[in-house]
Amino acid sequence: MGAISSASQEQSQGIEQVNAAISQMDGITQQNAALVEQSTAASESLKGQARQLSHLVSTFKIDDSQTEGGAKVVQRNTGQALLRHRLS
pLDDT average, residue stretch 5-17:
93
Q: Are 68 and 86 in contact (CB under 8 A)?
A: yes
| pLDDT digit string, tens, across residues 48-68 | 999 999 988 887 776 655 555
